[in-house]
A and B are shown apart, each in its own frame.
Chain A
Amino acid sequence: MRVSSSTLFDSNVASLSQQQSRLMQTQQQVSTGRRILTPAADPVAAARALDLSQSDAVNTQYTSNRNAARHTLSLAESNLQSVTTLLQDVKTATVTAGNGSLNNSDRQTMAIDLASRLEELVGLANSTDGVGNYLFSGFQSKTQPFVNTATGVTYAGDDGLRMMQVSASRQMPSSDSGADIFMRIKNGNGTFVTQAAAANTGSGVASLGNVTNPAAVTGHNYQISFSIAAGVTTYSVTDNSTLPTPTVLSTGNPYVSGQAISFDGMQFDIQGAPANGDSFTVTPSVNESVFKTISDLITALKTPVSSTAPGSAALLSGSLSRGLNNLDNALNKVLTTRSSLGLRLNEIDALQTTGDDLGLQFQQALSQLQNVDYNKALSDLTQQQISLQAAQQSFVKVSNLSLFNYL
């Protein structure tokens, strides 16, 4: 083919500039480490990389969510650990208070000690996360949840649980309702409570009792009344829930200390010697806050015991055993919550591992999509360099060829 002189130049210049642009692109890939310099280089990979970057960022966000959740959960856990220790101390004190060798002033001292422990407990229940947000007030993080009023400690928070998005599919509560931990504790054995009347003069003390037949439990209020006639102690059982005309379930039952008394599916015993006219009540369990339990104990310890009045000692003994039982119930609640906290912390750790793995996968996928393969890029670079050099040299040679050189 006939070649015009300008074609010779034009096509060489075009090929040189094409090679240079390729060389520059490879050089940019090497210097930025990115394979996709603009989305046009690989539109599918570019759009996918955007998606993956978001997934990766969201995954990273879940990590910081988990850290935040771990922080509040750990705070609550260490707080409840203090509560556990405190309740165990109170329990020990209550057991000690039952020691018959203590006198009234000893118990008075113990009551003062318990009062300060109660203050401490209220303080713990009102603890904050360090920036003024209460841990156990539900949604109302700025509202002090436990308030000491004339009628005892009341709960001003709510049942709200703060959920945290700790992984794509898991929202985890990072808080617990204070009402559940400190307020909603069933007293007695969980079904009913036995209690001696305050006016009792005998030494009778009722046991906690247990349920023998759940189906027969009525939830009514009962009264056990003692009478002594001719040296024989008998008692009657009355259902007071049918007032104004109480139903007498049984009467004239012979009393033997420590022998089981059972009716309507419930069973307990009374030990000691009830006096004539002494009575005991059996009522359904209700919720009793741990604060009330401790403050009841304080009241019981403050009440003097007279050696001449066996009733007062029996009352104290009954109060202490009820208090111990309620403390156990409260401790159970706290421990249950702590085990749930521990489970959640464990789950966070497990999710953290999964999240880290996932993050690694995202990074790998992103790197495969975006990052340059240096081996290939460098070998390309060398190749393009050589071919550009060859083109430049041959162009100079060819362009020097002209017949005019010889004219």
Chain B
Amino acid sequence: MGSNIFGSALSGMNAAQYGLATTQHNIANANTPGFSRQVIDQQARPGQQTGAGFLGQGVDVVGVRRLYDQFISTQVLQEQTQATYLTTYHTAISEIDNLLADSAAGASPAMQQFFDSLNGVANSPESIPARQTLLGNAQFAVNRFQAIDQRLTDITTSLNGQLTNGVTTINSYAQQIAALNANIKRAAANAGPGQMPNDLLDQRDQLINLLSKEVKASVQSQSNGAVNVFIGNGQGLVVDEQAYSLTTLQSTSDPSKLDIGFQYQGNSIVLPQSSLQGGNMGAYLTFRDQTLEPARNALGRVALGLATSMNQQNQMGQDLTGALGGNLFTVAAPRVSNGANNNGTATLTASIADVGALTTSDYQLRFDGTNYTMLRLSDNAVTNLGTTLPLTPGTIDGFSFNLTAGASGMMKGDTFLIRPTADGARDIAVAITDPAKIAAAAPIRGNATVTNTGTGTISAGTVNTPLPLNPNLQATVTIAFNSATTFTVSGAVPAVTGSVAYTPGGNISYNGWTVQINGTPAVGDSFTVQKNTNATGDNRNALLMVGLQNKSILANGTASFQGAYGQLVGQIGAKTNELSVTSTAQTSMLNETIKQQQSVSGVNLDEEAANLLRYQRAYEAAAQALKIANTMFDTLLALR
């Protein structure tokens, strides 16, 4: 009977020790990330049958269990990946948000200064200092465009670095998870039924949690204790004890970018951006493809628009030396890149045809073996280009392109990527250094003969748009009135025979210019339109250039330079704002769920303190029982 009490007391002391050890383990790991508190499961030993019934024999510890809720943990994973995605995206976009609208660093003030100094030239076209200031401010604007573009390029480059780091991290997580899978399998196989290596499970869950910060992953538990982890469109990153790895690949469409590849049996399969969602990787890729590149394109479009329209207007004028104007700016050409998997020999060239029609999208030229198509990547609009070269239409959305077949032409599946405005901001440059080359004057002027006795006046004249200029633009043309209502024209090409009816104020247009004659010219009065020699004080063309500031030139005549830039700032600002709100919301949702999870799995030190006391008391009591049993033996032995 006494031995009974010994055994029972001993089991109580053992159980209390187990309890103390587990409590101590909980206290020690109170701050370990991913740790789930553990409890011991006690079970009363089956009673010994006696005449009086079943007599209790003490207690057994049947298991050490972690408190863990699969449902909440899966929810944490999902919210974790989304919250990281939004926060990282928000951090990344905030950088360019500030950059674009900064009153000191944005392109807006630089463009304004350029137009201010253009006004200065219009006000005193003969002034070399005014022209020098314009050149200086043109350079300033160019530098500003380039600086912003450089900043965007730097961000792209650092994104490449972050993608590489992300891939390394993911691969390392995958290997650790696979190793843990192996350990857990072995440990579980050796342990009793239902007994799991809790701390290894916690470690693995923590790794999966970290992995989901990098990329969205789905987890599938196996009956043997292992888990399979899938990313993207079901690519198995960890399958049982086997870890697969990701890699970075130079993008086939744009060598400056990195794509993510999945390595499988020695091959790398490119994972599309759409399949890498969530987490840091998803944020980097989405930010790069849906914010950064469109921003660069939009900035490039403003720079291209400014440079091209200024060039065109300058070409329609005459500079201080009397020569016709040339280009003020060097203009970027569209960026064309061959698909890396192209098999054919075809080459593609592209050029800007009409800045007003340019979009901020990129384009992909495709060949399916029969049909050539152009895909606009921003909205996936497809334009059919026919089945034979030359492609028609040869101009889409303001850029024209020319496909040269070469020896074998374009093969099925070959692609070309065309980025019409991507380099607009990077490659803009001031083309002239001589301030005299700014064509402030118009190349022609209308003049009334001094001896005219009528009241007829002639306007100074305008050059007809569009370019190119008429080769006879500056030839002297004389308009002589042979009656009050008709005049003859000499010098026009082609020659004008006979009399032309006179309409006061009507447009008179020859040799690529247009003038108006008003009033009542007398018979014998004459007017000439001629080369605008010595026109140092003429500012007509400069005024036309100034007028471009407020003219809606871009986006099919809906946006001025400033307007288009403002749109860019607004779009980035709106997206940043949206991300700021959603990332805060998602983070607090995540925190709520973590709180839920912690309320199940987290360690509460007060509770553990109470448990310490509880098991200590249990131990003391069991020990007391042992002492009593001992006393009982003594009593029994003393009977003799």
Contact = CB atoms under 8 A, between A and B. Distances in A.
A57 B599 contact: no
Contacts of A229: none
A234 B604 CA distance: 140
B562 A3 contact: no
Interface stretch (B12-20, B96-104, B149-157, B248-256): B96-104
A43 B126 contact: no
B458 A38 contact: no
A404 B607 CA distance: 10
A211 interface: no
Contacts of B447: 158-159
Contact of B591 (A14, A47, A50, A165): A14
B567 A11 contact: no
Given A46-B101, A58-B550, A7 B598 contact: yes
A5 B570 contact: no
A403 B606 contact: yes
B112 interface: yes
Interface in A32-48: 38-44, 46-47
Interface residues on A, range: 35 or more
Contacts of B610: 403
Interface in A126-149: 131, 133-134, 137-143
A291 to B, nearest CB: 12
Contacts of B534: 139-140, 142-143
B84 to A, nearest CB: 15
A131 B562 CA distance: 35
Contacts of B565: 50
B119 A40 contact: no
B543 A40 contact: no
B602 A4 contact: yes
A287 interface: yes
A142 B126 contact: yes
Interface stretch (B39-47, B430-438, B448-456): B448-456
A139 to B, nearest CB: 4
Contact of B452 (A43, A57, A140, A287): A287
Interface stretch (A85-93, A178-186, A245-253, A271-279): A178-186
B82 to A, nearest CB: 18
A68 interface: yes
Contact of B538 (A1, A4, A160): A160
A39 B576 contact: yes
Contacts of A38: 94, 97-98, 101, 573, 576
B302 interface: no
A261 to B, nearest CB: 24
A11 B591 contact: yes
Nearest to A43: B573
Q: Which of B31, B580, B598 has the most CB of A within 10 A?
A: B598
Given A140-B535, A286-B453, A61 B570 contact: no
A51 B563 contact: yes
B603 interface: yes
A2 B94 contact: no
A6 to B, nearest CB: 6
B460 A161 contact: yes
B599 A7 contact: yes
Contacts, number: 208
Contacts of A140: 533-537
B476 interface: no
Interface string A279-316: 00000111100000000000000000000000000000
A186 to B, nearest CB: 7
Nearest to A14: B591
A6 B533 contact: no
Nearest to A8: B604
Contact of B539 (A142, A163, A286): A163
A2 B609 CA distance: 15
A32 to B, nearest CB: 11
Contacts of A3: 598-599, 602, 604
A6 B598 contact: yes
A336 interface: no
B447 to A, nearest CB: 5
A39 B570 contact: yes
B116 A61 contact: yes
A134 B448 CA distance: 19
Contact of A57 (B98, B112, B601): B112
Given A39-B100, A140-B533, A140-B536, A46 B570 contact: yes
A162 B603 contact: no
Nearest to B35: A6
Interface string B439-450: 001000111101
A200 interface: no
Interface in B67-102: 94, 97-98, 100-101
Given A39-B570, A43-B573, A155-B450, A6 B30 contact: yes
13 contacts: A3-B599, A7-B598, A39-B101, A47-B569, A53-B112, A61-B119, A64-B119, A65-B123, A133-B126, A138-B537, A179-B448, A184-B450, A402-B606
Given A4-B604, A38-B98, 11 more contacts: A5-B605, A7-B599, A47-B567, A51-B563, A58-B549, A133-B124, A141-B537, A158-B445, A159-B445, A160-B532, A402-B606
Interface of B: 30-31, 37, 94, 97-98, 100-101, 103, 106, 108-109, 112, 115-116, 119, 122-127, 441, 445-448, 450-453, 457-458, 460, 532-540, 543, 546-547, 549-550, 562-563, 565-567, 569-574, 576-577, 580, 591, 594-595, 598-607, 609-610, 612-613
- Sorted nearest first, the 3 A-B pairs with minimum C-beta distance are A4-B602, A141-B537, A39-B573
